[in-house]
Amino acid sequence: MTRQVCRVAAWALCLVGACGLSSHAVAADNQNDRVTALEQKLDRSLKLIEQLAARVRELEAERAGTSNLTQPAQPAQPAPPARPAEAAQQAAVAQSLPQTQQRLESVEQQLTQLADANAARGGGGAGVPLHGFADAGIGNHTANEPGLQGANIGALDIFLNPQLGEHTRSLFELVFEVNSQGQVAPDLERAQIGYQFSDAATVWIGRFHTPFGYYNTAFHHGQEIATSLRRPRFLLFEDQGGVMPIHTVGAWLTGAERLADGRITYDVFVGNGQAISSGSIDPRSGGVAHGGAIYGGNLGYVFGEILNGLKVGVSAFRSNISDDEQLGRITQVDNTGVYFAYDTDRFEYLGEYYRFNDRDLTDGGPARQSNAGFLQLAWRLPLATPYVRYERAVLDQGDNFFALQSNGMSYYREALGLRFDLDPKSALKLELGRTKNTDRNIEQWTDAMLDYAIRF
Amino acid sequence: MQRIFMYWTFSLLMAGVCSAVAADDLFVVCHAGVTLAAADVRDVYLGEKEFFNTVRLVPVDNIAAQPEFLDKVLRMNAAKYATTWAKKSFRDGINPPVTMANDAAVLEFIRRTPGGCGYLGIAPLEGVAVIAKY
């Protein structure tokens, strides 16, 4: 009788639930998406019920097994009396069974927690996620070697961010590039190991992108995430003719602090003073035998709801840069800069300006001023992103720092470009540009280039 | 007894499903003890906030509820979310949230993981801290 009452009650409850479901379904008759979601949730609920039922069966089976051990069934025929030692052993086993079960569950729980923690850190059984960029292009000049033309391989950039624990972080970036002689040259772009104290402070040690301005740390070798086809010329990589110390090997403290509406970001760094070697800047990743140090910082403000997407900031660094061909000659390079980046769904505006105030510490003499900057405007339209950029560098040729660099001449460049996002991870870029060197070797040329960039 | 238990569970689940779908709410929850402001949720999911006091936050994505979360909370589509994380990973060396299949997996993960955070299409029961409801 009781069983029948229970069954009737259960069916009644089931009916109530089903009525609720059907009434809701009627109300949402024209909302197919909701019905689909409902069906999915119903499927999941049924699976859960099956799992629960299976678990109940398991528990019942375990209980039966335990009672068999603690209360052995009467044998059909009288068995010889158990020896006292065996009986004591059976009793001990029976007593320890629940404890063993409890310990197993505890170990199982710990293992699950460890697996979850590993998965959450991105370092689970699937290994460390590998990310990267690659690009290839074609044009009447290549992007970074005006003396070459035709098709060219840009770079294959691979980076990975293994999360090693609660506070230890790391970042490694390896780039394979083809140099002007057509040889593939691997380059360890970044190798950083850091300790994160909080959101407001992370200390990195190793080789990193020198945190001046915005462009250098925001895009660097990430060709696919940069709107334009090529970097501003004075911000090119050291081995491609850039005139700024793009990489530093040393220590870097960075962080951000949220304010009422926005965030303040900061960077402070110190590292090996760069050298000029064979006409280009050498970050001296292996250490310093002579010369000085580089140190500097960057202070930025990221706007919140008002002017969302805008970042403004200032940066500065001082580096004592040696010349490998004239040992003992040191140039003290003082650089200050201002920048902004306004990145929204509709447009991307970028601008940077740098001023140099350099001194030759060997001969003394007056400080020599130079400056460089660019302005880039891009509009994100439905079909494509057109952009324009103007860049200008006026570099004092009496300043050893620029005079010793093979690409350290003044110039200006105007560029028009068009970027097509073919899918979320690939972009086709076209750029027309006109460049003029305004001192040392005065010349000008026009570029027409195409680049296909991907990320993975 | 087993059959009654199944009927009972089924009825309760059906009622829960109906009420959850009717409400069409989204709950952001974290491991018990983690208290965040609703305004912090965006920062947590875009990698700008990684700690609650000394506890590392471990946000996870929920495939079943992700479109609604991106639309209501982050106000961006899936492509923009992926691009934002591609830039963040490259610049700052951190990885995007791990993706989980459904509400049950997310809830289980959050209960087990100190600093775990996620979002659910159903009202959470017990053992987690509700940060915001959208």
Domain boundaries, chain A: 2-120, 132-455
Residues of chain A positioned with their CB less than 8 A from the CB of B19: 20
Residue A264 CA to residue A257 CA, distance in Å, equals 5
**Residue A108: per-residue pLDDT:** 57
CA distance linking residue A413 with residue A449, whole number of Å: 15
- Using the Cβ of A426 and the Cβ atoms of chain B, whether some distance falls under 8 Å is answered with no
Asked: is A132-455 a CATH 3.30.540.10 domain? The reply is: no
Quote the domain boundaries for residue B83.
Answer: 25-133
- What is the model's pLDDT at position A20? 41
Of A11, A170, A256, which is closest to B7 when you measure between CB atoms? A11
Query: Is B12 inside a domain boundary?
Result: no
Give the number of A-B residue pairs with CB atoms closer than 8 Å.
143
Q: How many domains does chain B have?
A: 1
Nearest CA in chain A to B118: A120
Q: CB–CB of A17 and B12 under 8 A?
A: yes
Q: Measured between CA atoms, how close is A345 to chain B, in angstroms?
A: 9
d(C-alpha B97, C-alpha A119), whole Å: 10
Look up the ipTM and state it.
Answer: 0.79
Structure confidence at residue A217 (pLDDT) = 95
Per-residue pLDDT tens digits of chain A, which is 456 residues long: 445 544 544 454 444 344 343 434 333 344 445 545 656 665 676 676 677 767 767 777 666 555 444 444 444 444 455 456 666 667 666 666 667 666 666 655 555 555 555 555 544 445 688 899 999 999 998 887 778 889 988 899 999 999 888 899 999 999 999 887 888 989 999 999 999 999 999 999 999 999 999 999 999 889 999 999 999 999 999 988 899 999 999 999 999 999 988 999 999 999 999 999 989 999 999 888 776 899 999 999 999 888 999 999 999 999 999 887 777 788 999 999 999 999 999 999 999 999 999 999 888 788 999 999 999 999 999 999 999 999 999 999 999 999 999 999 999 999 999 999 999 999 999 999 999 999 998 999 999 999 999 999
- Residues of chain B where predicted confidence (pLDDT) is lower than 70: 1-23
Q: How far apart are CA B58 and CA A118, in angstroms?
A: 11
| B79 and A CB contact within 8 Å | yes
Q: What is the reported pLDDT for A118?
A: 52
Position B19 scores a pLDDT of 42
A53, with CB counted inside 10 A (0-12, 13-18, 19+), is middle
At B122, which CATH number? 3.40.190.10
Query: Would you state the pLDDT for residue A84?
Result: 61
Q: What is the pTM of this model?
A: 0.74
pLDDT of residue A94: 66
Residue B16 in any domain: the answer is no
- CA within 13 Å, CB half, A198: 7
Chain B residue nearest residue A120, CA to CA: B98
Instruction: Please state at what angle helix A2-27 crosses helix B2-23, rounded to 10 degrees.
Output: 20
Output the average pLDDT for chain B: 85
Question: Pseudo-torsion of CA B118, B123, B127, B131, nearest 10°?
Answer: 50
User: Mind telling me how many Å the CA of B88 is from chain A's nearest CA?
Assistant: 9
Kind of pairing between the strands at B58-62 and B98-100:
parallel
The DSSP result for B110-130, as a single string, is HHHSTTEEEEESS---SSEEE
Per-residue pLDDT, B91: 93
Q: Do A49 and B13 touch (CB under 8 A)?
A: yes
B133 at A interface, C-beta within 8 A: no
Tokens, residue A235: 């911000």
At B58, give phi and psi (nearest 5°): -125, 85
B17 touches chain A (CB under 8 A): yes
Q: Of all helices (H) and strands (E), which one includes residue A97?
A: helix A84-120
Query: Within an 8 Å CB–CB cutoff, is residue A42 touching chain B?
Result: yes
Q: Which of A55, A116, A168, A173 should we substitute to test contact with B (largest number of B Cβ atoms within 10 Å)?
A: A116
Mind telling me how many Å the CA of B3 is from chain A's nearest CA? Answer: 8
* B134 Cα to chain A: minimum distance (Å): 17
